[in-house]
Chains A and B, each alone.
Chain A
């Protein structure tokens, strides 16, 4: 688990593998009853933490201006990680599904107790964030964000994702 500072607020990230209860987690998130409130991201779409931080920055800015497009702060994080404006589709693709086993949990301004509680509700093995790069599904990411091979020649996959996250609302 790692804590990042974004303009005053903190973001705590924890990576889990071999998650068995993703179905229950998904249902409790959709019902809004997950305690403490966490954002679950499909970790195979994350090659590096920087795009997640960029999405988090964007989320905090929209929260400060009271212009969230989804219901909660954490679902906004999942929506912002996507390159598409379609909310349901973004939540489905970038969030967890019933069969996902490789999950990144994120929470804003979390205390150590809350992250401990998260570790208890997620039925899986916590692994180090450095493993993100090795386990990322490059082909999957390329297809979702429509990254042509040319673009990978001039920058990393994380750069491509960050660009799309930033310019999504300008399109």
Chain B
């Protein structure tokens, strides 16, 4: 982020420095026109410098830019227990009514999907409190590394086969349970899965993009997102996806239609919704 910021700044500086040289080439007889042209180019280059800090927030919180809902995560205590507070704050450029409706809708959906996932037998953090006025969710703090960190460590220091097998099997089992219950996670990446210290249990987090659907298409896309994430970050660990799919096949009741669709989705490339 810092290097790109300095790059944009240097571009702006360049634009400042070379006006005299460029202005003579601007095909306009009047001085006003030249100044206006210079101003416009300045604005175009200055735009990323000003807005990049906000844009990087979007990339950090792994939310696709079409939703434009930003999130902040804090650690805190809830009646003596360590907890995580997730705040969903709104950006002021949106129309206020629309913005508040969207934020509340997403907040409630996340709380609902998390409780539904629990009911299906998928391990998620315990929801301690939902605050609709402050737009926050308070969950239990899970002690332990993200699957992403564990797999990166495997990639750097060599793979522990049975631990990898265990993690992949748990991932496949958890996703199978979710999909059989008609719930799509929406953001299946290794940074959204934690391993609880001690019991080595897999915990799924971040249901902010989840929705209910029984379509094999949606389930296949969910699995495809995970596959792309594993391929891009953890190809040094060997074929993790195969093991995940094997566990999925064992635990899910509708695996055949989903896996057939997955083959089709792989051929097409990534597509989120079949609209239009």
Contact = CB atoms under 8 A, between A and B. Distances in A.
A65 B131 CA distance: 12
Nearest to B123: A154
A167 B121 CA distance: 17
Interface residues of A, number: 29
Contact of B114 (A7, A150, A151, A163): A163
A167 B126 contact: no
Contact of B126 (A6, A53, A163, A169): A163
B121 A151 contact: yes
A148 interface: yes
Interface string B105-133: 00110011011001111110011111111
A162 B131 contact: no
A170 B119 contact: no
Contacts of A17: none
Interface string A94-114: 000000000000000000000
Contacts of A150: 119-121
| Chain B interface size, under 10 / 10 to 19 / 20 to 34 / 35 or more | 20 to 34
A58 B129 contact: yes
Main secondary structure of the interface of A (DSSP, over half): helix
B120 to A, nearest CB: 7
Contact of A53 (B79, B107, B115, B201): B79
A159 interface: yes
Interface string A128-171: 00000000000000000001101101110001101110110111
B118 A151 contact: yes
A166 B129 contact: yes
A54 B126 CA distance: 12
A169 B128 contact: no
Interface in A30-76: 50, 53-54, 56-58, 61, 65
A9 B78 CA distance: 13
Given A167-B127, A169-B130, A170-B111, A6 B118 contact: no
A108 to B, nearest CB: 14
A167 B111 contact: yes
A157 to B, nearest CB: 12
Contact of A166 (B122, B123, B127): B127
Contacts of B115: 163-164, 167
A163 B123 CA distance: 12
Contacts of B118: 151, 154-155, 160, 163
Given A150-B119, A166-B111, A171-B112, A57 B79 contact: yes
B114 A4 contact: no
Nearest to B133: A65
A155 B121 CA distance: 9
A61 B134 CA distance: 11
A57 B80 CA distance: 12
Nearest to A162: B126
Given A163-B114, A163-B115, A154 B129 contact: no
30 contacts: A4-B79, A50-B79, A50-B81, A53-B79, A57-B78, A57-B79, A57-B129, A61-B131, A147-B119, A148-B119, A150-B121, A151-B121, A153-B121, A154-B123, A154-B201, A155-B123, A155-B126, A162-B126, A162-B127, A163-B114, A163-B126, A164-B115, A166-B111, A166-B130, A167-B115, A167-B130, A169-B130, A169-B132, A170-B130, A171-B111
Given A4-B79, A166-B128, 12 more contacts: A4-B80, A5-B80, A53-B79, A54-B129, A148-B119, A153-B121, A154-B118, A155-B118, A159-B126, A163-B118, A166-B127, A169-B132
Closest A-B pairs by Cβ, 5 of them: A150-B121, A170-B111, A170-B108, A167-B111, A166-B127
